[in-house]
Structure 1
Amino acid sequence: MNLQQLEYIVAVDQHRHFQLAAQHCYITQATLSMMIKKLEEELEIKIFDRSKQPVVPTEVGKQVIEQAKVVLQQTKRLIEIVKEEQGEVKGELSLGIIPTLAPYLLPRFMRSFLKKYPQVKLKISELNTGEIIQKLENQHLDAGILATPLQRSTLIEQPLFYEQFFAYASSDEKLLQKKYLLPKDIDVNRLWLLEEGHCLRSQVVNLCELKKKEQELNQLELETGSIEMLKKLVEANQGVTILPELAMQELNARQKNNVRLFKQPAPVREISLVIYRHYIKKTLIDALKEEILHNIPADMKDKKKKDIVDIQ
């Protein structure tokens, strides 16, 4: 048994096709098949059911593949340990971030992080929550920044800050007559929402108890993944939307007059740095976390659980 054989079975599991896996590993299909067959003979099991297309792992094969992933990760971790001992912060870090955070959080830390660590290459992908989870579990991302908790045993969540929700309404909305709002004050028929697939949409649906009322919102269907678009819709077409705290800080003085707070306990979402449970780039990830926290308003880090309601 060797590391190459483990890499090959992981590749076949990911691609569910021997030829595609061989191309991914830059070897011939015959070589890949032979190496996997030798491993199966050594273990005296069948790792893959070749009678099915696409090829699938057997039940015992699934366990072997999962352990192979751990072994490969821990092998890479040996290299990281040496770098840490030498005090090096360098290498490539792939990061996924949800669209409702990216425009407001990235400018706060990205430039200073890259300046502080010139030997680091940061690869950032704007992805929805489901995509980030999948890529973390498949080890195609090193870390993700998204709303938590996720309740995934495969992932580790490191909370960064708590982002409060605010109502943003057009000037003629009656709710602006109030200083503090309750979720029930929002007319669901005048509420602009993000498209399906965004965690912020789900949080707003829960906040405004829309699960039983969403069918009423059928006069106009508009799909957008942009908070900026929601703001423009409110300003141009009337109505109301819900903004997270970092997006609020982009508003000008005139726009802030159209913002209302919710009554305490304030609704918030928890934002975390999320990593795979067998992650390897500890030094890089710790450096990234430190830089993010350094550039986040103190009150967003120090919110107490008793003063907030986490919306899931």
Structure 2
Amino acid sequence: MINFSLTQLTYIVAVDTHKNFVKAAESVHVSQPTLSMQIKKMENDLGVTIFDRTKQPVMPTEIGEKIIAKAREILKHAEHINELIQDYNGVLMGTINIGIIPSLASSFLPKFLPTFAKKYPDLTININELYTENILEELKKDKLDFGIVVTPVKDEKIIEKPLFYEEIMPYFNKNHPLLQKKKLTVADLQCEDLWVLSEGNCFRSQVLNLCANNSEKAGSSKNIHFDSNTIETLVRFVDKEGGYTFVPQMIYENFSEKKKRKLKKINGLTPLREVSLVHTRTFTKATTIQEFIEHIKKSAPEEMLDKSRGTVIEWC
């Protein structure tokens, strides 16, 4: 049997990541000669060449690509063993990688993350802002530990754990006729003068599902066609150019009183979006998940934990 160490696997993954022996050595805190010697020893023991050193940047050979892919899997499983021990002992430390969708990032992170990070100083938290589809892909590739998304996502490989239910309200330009209407109904919400997020945002789909007419007409009355990933930008466009948009609760809660007067409830409907923590079935950091969920639920306003106060608007 050919023997190789986890250290050697770490070194070849580092070179593949950085495409450079010097930078790879720096990333794993060893000298470049030490790293090169260990990789060369592994190649000699295996009887194959893992890296083509004649190319710049350094590239793996055909067999090298397959070995490196397996090395990444082995290192991840080894990491899971450490995580299992930490989880068993109830210890929150190490690194956790979280994906979050753009329409939640600006409101969710400042509200909940700083206090969680302060509570667990030995836990390094990496945040990745991605669309829902990309978060699910990264979870399945084991590149993220969990995601914060709007659910349901309707994926049998993903476990959803609802955190809270955020109300969605229309926000109008000060001169919009619907703002003056005594009772606003869903039938009033035409798409022609509606500002929406760009394609790929689940909040865009939710908003269009609330629209009374064909969603393809969204923004058709405007001669400005604008793709944005931030709801705050859409709000500024409504104020400047007219029309209306939809705003989630955690964003409009921070509005000035003047801006809040441009929000209007829909008669007979309280639209909600379900915000959940999602992870795969192979996730090992159960203690971290549970602590995070409990922290969010303790920090969220009580009304946001009540699903029965409205209707969850699906997006997919």
TM over 0.5: yes
Q: 2:269 aligns with which of 262, 265, 269?
A: 265
Residue 166 of structure 2: aligned partner: 163
The whole-number CA distance in structure 1 between the counterparts of 2:125 and 2:177 is 46
Q: Which residue of 2 aligns with 1:289?
A: 293
Equivalent residue, structure 2, for 1:232: 236
User: For residue 90 of structure 2, what is the amino acid of its counterpart?
Assistant: G
CA RMSD of aligned residues (A): 4.0
CA displacement 1:52-103 (0-9 Å, x = unmatched): xxxxxxxxx9xxx99x999876654332232133331111111111111111
Is the contact made by 2:98 and 2:145 (CA closer than 8 Å) also made in structure 1?
yes
Letter in 2 for 1:91: G
Q: Counterparts of 1:63-78 in structure 2 under 5 Å?
A: 75-78=78-81
| Residue number in structure 2 paired with 1:105 | 108
Inter-CA distance 216–171: structure 2 relative to 1 (3 Å threshold): closer
**For the residues of structure 2 that align with 1:76 and 1:137, how far apart are their CA atoms?**
16
Give the match's secondary structure for 2:215.
coil
- TM-score for both structures, normalised by structure 2: 0.74
Amino acid at match of 2:200: G
Segments of structure 1 that go 5 or more residues without pairing to the other structure are 15-22, 40-60
- Give the aligned length: 295
Contact 2:171 2:263 in 1 (8 A): yes
Matched ranges for 1:138-153 at <5 A: 138-153=141-156
Do structure 1's residue 185 and structure 2's residue 185 form an aligned pair? no
Q: Is the 8 A contact 2:203 2:315 kept in 1?
A: no
CA distance in 1, matches of 2:269, 2:72: 43
Aligned pairs for 1:176-215 (under 5 A) are 176=179, 177-182=181-186, 184-208=187-211, 209-214=213-218
Q: Which amino acid aligns with 1:258?
A: K
Paired residues of 2:93 and 2:123 also in contact (CA < 8 A): yes
Q: In 1, are the aligned partners of 2:162 and 2:277 still within 8 Å (CA)?
A: yes
Aligned to 1:277: 281
Structure 1: which 4+ aligned runs deviate by more than 4 Å?
A: 1-4, 68-75, 305-312
Q: Give a deviation string over 1:90-117, Cα, whole Å, max 9, x none.
A: 1111111111111111111111111111
Q: Greater shift after overlay, 84-93 or 194-203? A: 84-93
Please report how far the alpha carbon of residue 309 of structure 1 lies from its aligned counterpart in structure 2 after TM superposition.
Answer: 4.7
Change (3 A) 1:236 1:306: closer
Q: 1:307 to 1:151 in 2, by over 3 A?
A: closer
- Mapped to 2, the partners of 1:151 and 1:90 lie a distance apart of 31
Q: Which moved more, 1:85-94 or 1:213-222?
A: 213-222
Partner of 2:249: 245
- State how far apart, in whole Å, the 2-side matches of 1:311 and 1:305 are: 19
Distance in structure 2 (CA, Å) of the matches to 1:292 and 1:210: 37
Pair 1:129-2:132 in alignment: yes
Q: Check the 8 A contact 1:161/1:300 in 2, yes or no.
A: yes
Secondary structure at the aligned position of 2:170 is classed as: strand
Counterparts of 1:202 and 1:156, CA distance in 2: 22
Structure 1's 73 and 149: CA in aligned 2 closer, same or farther, altered over 3 A? farther
Q: Is contact 2:193–2:220 with CA below 8 Å preserved after alignment?
A: no
- TM-score scaled by structure 1? 0.75
Q: Which residue of 2 aligns with 1:120?
A: 123
Contact 2:272 2:310 (8 Å CA) reproduced: no
Larger CA deviation: 273-282 vs 172-181: 172-181
Matches within 5 A, 1:37-52: none
Letter of the structure 2 residue corresponding to residue 160 of structure 1: L
Aligned residue for 1:125, secondary structure, equals: strand
Structure 1 match to 2:60: none
Aligned to 1:256, which of 260, 279, 298?
260
